Amino acid sequence: MPQLNRPRARFRALLATACCAVLGAGLLAGAGTAAADQSAGAAKATTAEADAKAGSRVVGYFTEWGVYDRNYHVKNIETSGSANKLTHINYAFGNVQGGKCTMGDAYAATDKAYTAGQSVDGVADTWDQPLRGNFNQLRKLKKKHPNLKVLWSFGGWTWSGGFTQAAQNPAAFAQSCYDLVENSKWADVFDGIDIDWEYPNACGLTCDTSGRAAYKNLMSAVRAKFGSKNLVTAAIPADAAAGGKIDAADYAGAAQYVDWYNPMTYDYFGAWEAKGPTAPHSPLSSYTGIPKPEWNSQSTIAKLKGLGIPSDKLLLGIGFYGRGWTGVTQKAPGGTATGPAAGKYEQGIDDYKELKTKCPANGTVGGTAYAHCGTNWWSYDTPATIGGKMNYKNQQGLGGTFFWELSGDTANGELIKAIN
């Protein structure tokens, strides 16, 4: 699906224009996993069953760069009430360079100092403590919420180009990821790894030609290295069209190596098509006039289930943001536009917390909401439409819900409450 400006992988406001979780075969640990690896993992997540019952997983992305312009910190997860409603946090993103997992923004992750007022537990960082930054704040959050798990996500829209080289030597890639995630300074912070490759054997910001088997081989190596005591998850595309991104890689074959998948059931449509037609970016179902009939969540889930991927290892994706056009005179979907609507941080996209006030929803289509105010046309999910999506998730026996991303919600967590 066209996702030139999608938020999940973009170091958006701060780093650039550009932005998970695969299924569960925690039982299939690789034979080569060392005993030391097993003992390190034993103190953390055990199996997918222990992490959350099928259907109850709530996975939220926390963006590393959000601590800058967005001024959204780990403490906000606590004060919004979101920490009580999350089962897992995906920390986005680590980079992939030279075929290896590498740090993203090391300052934000491990060095940024927090005052007592900014800190999760009200204790200020000191100049000589071994770990500061987001990682230390996540450690403090986990102490308050012992059942909360944190995974480190690698790749995303901006940093997926490195997976092509990684696919040439999956074992070396997996070893580099394990060495980084399990670094002694922060090994207790993370309960596993999330792979966000956009997209295997297809095009995102860059194009990959590794072949259809490359994804399965890479995920097999990651599982073998991380073992059964750590979570291994992944974000996967939602393009259900014949010959689309789902067909480009062997996601069904890779399912045995992961705990669950996060099909990215949002960004089906957006103002990268500057003149429209206007369409909701995250429709649950098709509707009369939808530009691409198979670009909706129900089609995506049906396609993945049809490949043999178990329902309880598929999570339903929700966007905590909207996409919009300007120069639109028609209230209903399908209108023409002159370009992207203005957003707080970039064109054509804005957070739910901004849109609910500046352009309130005044219509629904395909199980999601839209809003026409002035000449702007936006689409986004509301608590009410999320409720409908949760009914669908339950009817389908899906393994839970994930969303991009935490800072898009209101200060009191309206959307995550609707998920719960």
Q: Assess if residue 95 is contained within a domain.
A: yes
Tell me, yes or no, if 273 is annotated catalytic: no
Q: Which of 233, 220, 106 is nearest to 174 (CA)?
A: 220
Q: 196 falls in which pLDDT band (50, 70, 90)?
A: very high
Domain boundaries, position 209: 12-319+383-419
Q: Which of 213, 212, 215 is nearest to 163 (CA)?
A: 215
Average pLDDT in the 296-305 region? Answer: 98
Tell the burial category of 273 from Cβ atoms under 10 Å away from its Cβ (0-12, 13-18, 19+): middle
Res 232 pLDDT > 80: yes
pLDDT tens readout for residues 176-193: 999 999 999 999 999 999
Catalytic residue among 198, 294, 354, 405: 198
Res 318 pLDDT > 70: yes
Res 51 pLDDT > 60: no
Q: The domain spanning residue 292 has which CATH number? A: 3.20.20.80
pLDDT at 163: 98
Number of domains forming the structure of the chain: 1
Q: Which of 408, 136, 394, 93 is nearest to 266 (CA)?
A: 408
Q: Assess if residue 296 is contained within a domain.
A: yes
Structure tokens at 240: 């259900």
Res 23 pLDDT > 50: no
Res 30 pLDDT > 60: no
Res 27 pLDDT > 50: no
Specify whether the CB–CB gap between 101 and 154 falls below 8 A: yes
Average pLDDT in the 215-242 region? Answer: 97
pLDDT at 25: 37
Q: Assess if residue 293 is contained within a domain.
A: yes
Q: Assess if residue 109 is contained within a domain.
A: yes
Average pLDDT in the 70-84 region? Answer: 98
What type of residue sits at position 199? Y
Res 239 pLDDT > 60: yes
Cis peptide before 226 (omega within 30 of 0): no
CA of 306: how far to CAs of 247, 302, 398, in Å? 12, 6, 14
Q: 33 falls in which pLDDT band (50, 70, 90)?
A: very low
pLDDT at 151: 98
Neighbours of 325 (CB within 10 A): 27
pLDDT at 55: 73
pLDDT tens readout for residues 109-157: 999 999 999 999 999 999 999 999 999 999 999 999 999 999 999 999 9
pLDDT above 70 covers a percentage of the chain that reads 87
Q: Assess if residue 346 is contained within a domain.
A: no
Res 382 pLDDT > 90: yes
**CA–CA gap between residue 339 and residue 337 (Å, rounded):** 6
Q: Assess if residue 367 is contained within a domain.
A: no
Res 29 pLDDT > 80: no
**CA–CA gap between residue 207 and residue 232 (Å, rounded):** 24
Q: Assess if residue 401 is contained within a domain.
A: yes
Which phi and psi angles does 313 have, rounded to 5°? -110, 20
pLDDT above 90 covers a percentage of the chain that reads 87
Q: Assess if residue 326 is contained within a domain.
A: no
pTM score? 0.89
pLDDT at 53: 54
**CA–CA gap between residue 416 and residue 75 (Å, rounded):** 16
User: What average pLDDT does the chain have?
Assistant: 90
